[in-house]
Chain A
């Protein structure tokens, strides 16, 4: 059927090994989903460790989650949910070819991502001051298991923050592309794919927040 290379002028963004824009978009979107599956497995390893140790040290887990600032965590959760909304609006603006909507929403997404990181920075700083960072300076009076909680806390939130930074870099690139009118109703693959990534990083946080900040509180 559509085996022949497109004889009409191909879209300038069509790479030569694809035969149509639909194929190109489908491949990119499927690619991002597959990549997100690997990301799920990546965090999955750490969630597994979290579950095992939570079961091993239930009491220490309660104690440790009391050391976390749930207000700041909750604030960050709101910030990320907002950023997911602006991201979705940016994708919609790209599909409709609205340049202003793309620029505004992408900038807001980047801004909210930065707010998240700044809040995170202050949370980390407080942990250093309270001797809650694992290692030789960890408060030795705390009960066994709490150090592991904080090791996992820093690994999980640290890896998540690294993903946020990558996402912000990605959004900055998309923003400059949008400023150059790169996207329209026929070609908006990069915005859509970057959006998937952004939503995924948000969803990871939606799991991290209750697991680290809230679950222990309920038990107490």
Chain B
């Protein structure tokens, strides 16, 4: 294929090959049926062309056997596609535990990328190859969608909640970032570049970047500046629950529900504190809607995630 007319996207992540295999499987099945039906129709058109005006065709009304066959075979094939696609989707939805974090905020019409070490970029994202990268995505205005065709991954960026996606780049190079979800005037300008680098180059690039403190440091500063710390104390003497070890734990709410404290729970607890109140506490926390930007929010969450349970209260390991 000449370079002037590429017909297939670059393939540069661990899942892209699997997506392509599934694509070619369905393409094969589809092509088989499309050609079969078209060929039969054309063949019948010529073979059974009316000899004399007014001739009727054969008196055939149908066949239960045939109906069952051509209901059954498409059903089985469709289920194969479903199971295969669902398995792949699960792989793509569950980031490996050792993934490194990058925070991405979409706003009309740019992508703001923040590395945990504090380096920030706009419309560019440097990543090391052969290492899983987990993106946490937030939006400051409308719905966007972070799409990297070469990695075959995509996720909507929805205002009011955090979404995540992950990938492992496999090949050094530069790849498109597109906004997939229509977001207004400069939607087609909301594009950028992923720069996939050798891990050493990535470390060097990080070291050379201008940084205003790591995400965790910024989050810690915000935690003090916004006076979170006055209620959420490290020991249990505060008016709010202590946050040590809260991330990833199961929280008992005052209305009896038990929920997993993930990023969206932390986000909601900052923006809409009354929605889910921890058991044993009063709904007295004010909302921080409008006071913290999506970027600050991600920094706060990054900080809360690092908090360890207080020394005096060992991690409850129950049987």
Contacts and interface: CB of A to CB of B under 8 A. Distances in A.
B283 A145 contact: no
Contacts of A57: 272, 274-275
Interface string B277-299: 10000010001010000000000
B59 interface: no
A133 interface: no
B297 to A, nearest CB: 15
A144 B255 contact: no
Interface string A134-177: 00000000011100000000000000000000000000000000
Contacts of A58: 255
B277 A59 contact: yes
B174 to A, nearest CB: 41
B104 to A, nearest CB: 25
Contacts of B272: 57, 144-145
Contacts of B275: 56-57, 59-60, 144-145
Nearest to A59: B274
A59 B256 CA distance: 13
Nearest to A58: B255
Interface in A177-219: none
Contacts of B287: 143-144
Interface residues of B, number: 9
Interface in B151-196: none
Most A CB atoms within 10 A — which of B272, B274, B287, B289? Answer: B274
Interface in A106-157: 143-145
A56 B255 CA distance: 12
B148 to A, nearest CB: 31
A59 B283 contact: yes
Interface string B243-277: 00000000000010000000000000001101101
A143 B274 CA distance: 7
Nearest to B257: A58
A220 to B, nearest CB: 12
Contacts of A56: 275
Contacts of A145: 272, 274-275
Nearest to B254: A59
A51 to B, nearest CB: 16
Nearest to B287: A144
A89 to B, nearest CB: 46
Nearest to A63: B274
A49 to B, nearest CB: 15
B3 to A, nearest CB: 50
Contacts of B271: 144
Interface in A14-70: 56-60
Contacts of B255: 58-59
A58 B253 CA distance: 12
B187 to A, nearest CB: 27
A145 to B, nearest CB: 7
A57 B276 CA distance: 8
Contacts of B289: 144
Contacts of A60: 274-275
A84 B243 CA distance: 57
A41 to B, nearest CB: 26
B277 to A, nearest CB: 7
A78 B283 CA distance: 37
B121 to A, nearest CB: 33
A95 to B, nearest CB: 48
A97 to B, nearest CB: 53
Contacts of A143: 274, 283, 287
B290 to A, nearest CB: 11
A176 B255 CA distance: 56
Contacts of B274: 57, 59-60, 143-145
Nearest to A144: B272
Contacts of A59: 255, 274-275, 277, 283
A88 B125 CA distance: 70
Nearest to A143: B274
A156 to B, nearest CB: 22
Given A59-B274, A144-B271, A145-B274, 18 more contacts: A56-B275, A57-B272, A57-B274, A57-B275, A58-B255, A59-B255, A59-B275, A59-B277, A59-B283, A60-B274, A60-B275, A143-B274, A143-B283, A143-B287, A144-B272, A144-B274, A144-B275, A145-B272
Interface of A: 56-60, 143-145
11 contacts: A57-B274, A58-B255, A59-B274, A59-B275, A59-B283, A60-B274, A60-B275, A143-B287, A144-B272, A144-B274, A145-B275
Interface of B: 255, 271-272, 274-275, 277, 283, 287, 289
Nearest first, the 7 closest Cβ-Cβ pairs linking A and B are A144-B272, A143-B274, A59-B274, A144-B287, A57-B275, A144-B274, A58-B255
